[in-house]
Amino acid sequence: MLEAKVWFAALSQCLFSLNTGFGPLIMLGSYNRFDRNIYRDTWIASGIDTLTSLLAGLTIFAFLGNLAWTMDVDILKVALTENHFAIIIFAQAVSMFEVVPQLFCIIFFLMMAIIGVGTATAYVGAVITVIASLFPKSSRYRVPLIVCFIGLIIGLMYLTPGGSMMTRLADYFGAKVVICIMALVEVVGVAWIYGIDNFLVDIEFMLKLKLGLYWKLSWCYFIPTFLSGILVYAFLDGQHSPGYKGHSFSNITLSAGWLYSLLAISAIPIFAFYVVKTSKGTGWQEKFKEAMKPSEEWGPKRCDLRQDWLEYKKHRLDNEC
């Protein structure tokens, strides 16, 4: 528990499991009513996700322990890599049922297919929503077809003999490292650039609920510090670099992986530079200050809600001052 790699793996799993830092939550949240009780939804989703993860973990390690005891070997010798847990361990467990194991195998793989399709729908839907927003005049079928076709072509490499190794590389450098950086940028952008007071007032106006000091400290200090520490470990630690089948990746492979991560997060500084460059102002200093402010379109779209929001925000912030 005191090793940094354990917390890095736990953080990556939490972000991936809850979809925090990815686009799907923002995309799906855009379809909510303005006064939707997202505070309650957050607690429900987090609670269900936690219970599901605990149940899956208990099931996996209970079967691994039983298998190790049956084979009279150490549990480390029967544990597989993380990418094989769900498919092999669960499939092998249900195949040992005494009553209609075939039926339970069918149910299990049907469940895995539904989870896979649901996950892909959320991720692909986020990409499609962004592209469709940039090109509103494009056909409603053209963008999804192009995105799905490109995704299909890219996904074919995971079916090759080296697909498992590519999956391991993409999982570490394309998901874990990148999503930690994205989550850090998001929380810093909201808490420090947009302003934690502005954000809390927005939530209070939407939910009619005032959040306590815990949330303010978490978004401003605890979460950025924890994420930064985990990322420093990921960048500097070479002893626990990712590998495949018990072997560490070569320096060339690791360099390619870090280059992949760099390309993935390069969109953040590129778009930031574009926003600063296109902002109002005569010099770079004025442009930068203008870029740090919310745009004129920021806020509720409905005119009545927008006017109430502006008045409420001005009243609350003036009282705090």
CA angle, 149 as apex, 147 and 155 as ends, to 5°?
A: 100
Binding site listing for Na(+): 17
Low-confidence ranges of the chain (pLDDT < 50): none
Distance CA 69, CA 71 (A): 6
At 273 the pLDDT is: 92
Distance CA(250)–CA(238), nearest Å, equals 12
The Cα–Cα gap between 309 and 303 comes to: 10
| Model pLDDT, residue 164 | 79
pLDDT value for 1? 65
Q: What is the pLDDT of residue 79?
A: 60
Q: Which residues are annotated as a binding site?
A: 17
Structure confidence at residue 78 (pLDDT): 66
Instruction: Considering only CA atoms, give the Rg of the chain.
Output: 23
**The predicted structure's pLDDT at residue 44:** 93
Output 178-181 pairs: Cβ under 8 A, ≥24 positions apart: 178/261, 178/264, 178/265, 179/12, 179/15, 179/16, 179/21, 179/22, 180/11, 180/12, 180/15, 180/21, 180/227, 180/230, 180/231, 180/234, 181/231, 181/261, 181/265, 181/268
Q: What's the burial of 125, exposed, middle or buried (CB within 10 Å: 0-12/13-18/19+)?
A: middle
Q: Is 270 helix (H, G, I), strand (E, B) or coil?
A: helix
Task: Confirm if 187 and 224 have CB atoms less than 8 A apart.
Answer: yes
